[in-house]
DNA sequence: TCTTGACCTTCCAGTGACTGGAGGCTTTAT
DNA sequence: ATAAAGCCTCCAGTCACTGGAAGGTCAAGA
């Protein structure tokens, strides 16, 4: 299957698929004319990658997960470890964003938002309390 | 004041300060020997930038906020608009992360995490329901 | 005076995960 | 025969820095 069809089947772009090949996540065959030729296997891998990326796993995590995926002797604990570490990262990001949200919401709510220059948002950024 | 002291006073790194100069966010004077010479004004701007970045504003937002900061005839609504747009982005990010979190938490909770290969996380990523 | 070491400078490369585009083949349809 | 679509590679750009090399400057101590 050519790259266009692989892209349609995986909801990845052709660019992304070529990039994944470049960094060694998939290794499609090549036809005589140089065109990539994706097997069903390749498409499975790409879909796996697409899902993992959607869950926010880094490409490097994806590489490990993909390797565990094709390892029949894997220990589920290895997978779980990766997922739990990722969860911790997500938690941290949410906490950080929530802090920003709180501060900003407060500032925005106290700003008149009119034509005059007085602005608690600017004041806060300027360090004036 | 030399860059090291500017860095200490603003909690930015020297590298970051040089970068901010490179992209035109601050324009410190230069001494005869080529060293940057930061005024108190410059330090104020840098602190302003540091705070805005901590709230997650993009460098481009920061540029606009800084310009509004030094504009005595600014309208607070211009500031508020930028802040509100940023809040919307933060909300979206949090929602996206929360979705990932939900899915991942569920998957992690159903995975035994032992030496055996059966793994609901891998199964989900592989599209097996 | 010499030297050491801290501090400053510029410039280049790398990060993550793509994305856009140029320039050039091959295939398909008219 | 020709045009359009589709494929290829390679290079540059994104964002906001960060690391490091190579070299100039300055103050203090031997």
Q: How far apart are CA A61 and CA A1, in angstroms?
A: 27
pLDDT by residue, tens only, chain A of 129 residues: 999 999 999 999 999 999 999 999 999 999 999 999 999 999 999 999 999 999 999 999 999 999 999 999 999 999 999 999 999 999 999 999 999 999 999 999 999 999 999 999 999 999 987
Q: Interior CA angle at A36 toward A31 and A41, to 5°?
A: 105
Q: Does B76 touch chain A (CB under 8 A)?
A: yes
The 8 Å CB, 24+ separation contacts for A66-71 are A66/A25, A68/B119, A68/B122, A69/B122, A69/B125, A69/B126, A71/B117
pLDDT at A7: 98
Nucleotide nearest to B37 (CA to C1'): C8
Q: Is the CB of A113 under 7 A from strand C?
A: no
Q: Which residue has the tokens 């992209």?
A: B23
pLDDT of residue B59: 97
Q: Give me the half-sphere count of Cα atoms (radius 13 Å) on the Cβ side of residue A122.
A: 25
pLDDT in tens, A44-60: 999 999 999 999 999 99
Tokens 């701007």 found at: B45
Alpha helices in chain B (DSSP H): 3-10, 14-22, 40-54, 59-69, 76-110, 120-125
- Extract the tokens encoding B11: 């909690």
Mean pLDDT taken over chain A: 97
What per-residue confidence (pLDDT) applies to A41? 97
Question: What Å distances lie between residue A52 and A26, A32, A57, B17, B111, CA to CA?
Answer: 15, 32, 6, 37, 16
Q: Are residues B55 and A103, on separate chains, in Cβ contact within 8 Å?
A: yes
Q: What is the pLDDT of residues B75-126, one digit of tens each?
A: 999 999 999 999 999 999 999 999 999 999 999 999 999 999 999 999 999 9
Distance in angstroms: CA B68, C1' C4: 48
Residue B129 has pLDDT above 90, yes or no: no
| The pLDDT value given to residue A129 | 75
SS3 category, A36: strand
- The protein residue nearest nucleotide C26, judged by CA to C1', is A33
Contact: B75, A115; criterion CB under 8 Å: yes
């Amino acid at each position: 299957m050519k790259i266009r069809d692989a892209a349609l089947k995986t909801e990845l772009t052709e660019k992304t698929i070529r990039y994944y090949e470049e960094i060694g996540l998939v290794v499609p065959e090549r036809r005589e004319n140089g065109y990539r030729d994706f097997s069903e296997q390749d498409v499975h891998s790409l879909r796996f990658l697409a899902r993992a990326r959607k869950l926010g796993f880094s490409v490097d995590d994806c590489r490990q997960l993909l390797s565990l995926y094709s390892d029949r002797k894997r220990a589920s604990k290895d997978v779980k470890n990766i997922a739990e570490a990722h969860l911790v990262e997500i938690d941290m990001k949410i906490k950080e964003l929530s802090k920003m949200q709180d501060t900003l919401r407060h500032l925005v709510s106290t700003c008149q938002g009119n034509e005059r220059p007085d602005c608690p948002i600017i004041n806060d950024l300027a360090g004036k309390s």
